[in-house]
């Protein structure tokens, strides 16, 4: 068996990505006699590592809804919560960037990354608008359409036609989202055309953001890339929702804890995790992995808010996890088989 020299696709994702990826090799080297430079098992584990990062990015988004509901219950408006989330998150990323690796960028590159953050900000704005005229369960189902929209974008840009397993996985995910959101109950019957439009726009913008996370600035250190994406999103959100809470000291300090939590799980961690993982898993698989958002949202609402979760919702959660597993396991096995054949 020839040795395998691991190199990051699309250039390196920065020191963080290289460090943790190399740690996977070292862990494997300590088990079963593998060395860091050979073995198809290392390839599979590395793929699982990147897959796990994107999966965790989706989980972070699932945490948001619980904190948003608590903020609303304490009297804060959607505009204030959204503005605080992006503002605090962007500031945190730039603070972290001061202690990490940075690369010098041209004005053109900087503008490109800032512009790529616009879909990031649009997703929050569109989703908020959808919630104004739809029940929460219907709104999240429409947002969940990003699962198949991501595959369409990949087909349009890269001419990659989804295979049978991916199509089955998407179908299972969509069915699971309907059950998890409990849209068939009488309490979820609210529907408007304008709400549908806002919900689909949120799905398109989110799928676009996931695609750009894979395609843009993949040579940059993850923190630097995330900071620029978040800045672009924050500028847009500040235009739509001016941060007037800065002018009221009491409101600012009361809102700060929510801004920090929402900024961490909604602005800092997802772009960072996607910046490392998405260039390696691709936008199509990435959108499927990000479906972890809905199961986590339901789990959080049950544990933290003590909201009742009927059996039909848990059935939906199980279907979503099965849908994620179908495609991600197939992808890992396929990569492992190809690499094993190549290096034997």
Composition of the chain by helix, strand, coil, percent to 5: 80, 0, 20
Q: Distance of alpha carbon 85 from its chain centroid, rounded?
A: 16
Per-residue pLDDT of 42-69, as tens digits, reads: 666 777 888 889 899 989 988 887 888 8
Per domain, the residue ranges of the chain are 14-343
DSSP state of 8: -
pLDDT at 237: 92
Nearest to 71 by CA among 63, 83, 80, 62: 80
pLDDT at 262: 92
Residue 336 contacts by C-beta under 8 Å, 6 or more apart in sequence? 40, 41, 43, 44, 47
Full DSSP string of 266-300: IIIHHHHHHHHHHHHHHHHHHHHHGGGHHHHHHHH
Per-residue pLDDT of 225-282, as tens digits, reads: 999 999 999 999 999 888 776 666 667 888 899 999 999 999 999 989 988 888 888 7
Q: Which residues of 243-265 are buried (b: 16+ CB within 10 A; e: fewer)?
A: bebeeeeebbebbeebbbbbbbb
Give the predicted TM-score (pTM) of the model.
0.76
pLDDT at 89: 94
pLDDT at 130: 81
d(CA 42, CA 76): 48
pLDDT at 44: 65
Nearest to 269 by CA among 109, 112, 88: 88
Helix (H, G, I), strand (E, B) or coil at 83: helix
* Consecutive 10-residue averages of pLDDT for the chain (344 residues): 42 48 45 48 72 90 83 84 91 93 88 93 85 72 84 84 83 86 65 85 92 83 92 93 72 88 93 86 78 84 81 87 74 45 38
Q: Measured on CA atoms in the order 328, 333, 334, 336, is the torsion positive or negative? A: positive
**How many residues appear in the chain?**
344
Residues 37, 5: contact at Cβ < 8 Å? yes
pLDDT at 7: 43
pLDDT at 331: 56
Residue 81 contacts by C-beta under 8 Å, 6 or more apart in sequence? 68, 71, 72, 255, 258, 259, 262
């Amino acid at each position: 068996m020839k040795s395998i020299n691991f190199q990051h696709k699309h250039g390196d994702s920065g020191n963080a990505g290289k460090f943790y990826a190399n740690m996977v090799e070292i862990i494997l080297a300590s088990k079963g006699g593998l060395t860091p430079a050979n073995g198809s098992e290392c390839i599979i584990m590395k793929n699982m590592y990147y897959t796990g990062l994107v999966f965790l990015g989706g989980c972070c988004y699932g945490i948001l809804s619980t904190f948003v509901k608590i903020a609303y219950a304490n009297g804060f408006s959607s505009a204030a919560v959204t503005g605080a989330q992006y503002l605090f998150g962007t500031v945190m990323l730039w603070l972290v960037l001061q202690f990490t690796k940075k690369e010098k960028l041209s004005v053109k590159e900087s503008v490109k990354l800032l512009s790529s953050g616009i879909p990031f900000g649009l997703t929050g704005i569109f989703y908020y608008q959808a919630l104004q005229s739809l029940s929460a369960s219907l709104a999240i189902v429409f947002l969940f359409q990003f699962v198949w929209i991501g595959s369409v974008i990949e087909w349009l840009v890269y001419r990659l036609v989804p295979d049978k397993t991916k199509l089955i996985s998407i179908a299972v995910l969509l069915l699971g989202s309907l059950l998890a959101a409990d849209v068939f109950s009488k309490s979820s019957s609210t529907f408007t055309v304008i709400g549908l439009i806002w919900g689909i726009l949120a799905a398109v913008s989110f799928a676009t953001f996931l695609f750009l996370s894979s395609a843009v600035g993949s040579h940059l250190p993850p923190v630097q890339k995330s900071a620029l994406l978040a800045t672009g999103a924050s500028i847009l959100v500040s235009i739509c929702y001016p941060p007037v809470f800065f002018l009221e000291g009491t409101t600012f300090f009361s809102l700060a804890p929510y801004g920090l939590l929402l900024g961490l799980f909604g602005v800092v961690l997802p772009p960072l995790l996607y910046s490392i993982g998405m260039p390696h898993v691709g936008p199509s698989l990435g959108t499927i992995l990000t479906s972890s958002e809905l199961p986590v949202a339901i789990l959080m609402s049950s544990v933290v808010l003590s909201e009742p979760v009927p059996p039909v919702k848990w059935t939906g959660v199980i279907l979503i996890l099965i849908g994620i597993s179908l495609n991600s396991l197939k992808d890992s096995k396929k990569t492992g088989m190809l690499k094993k054949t190549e290096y034997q």
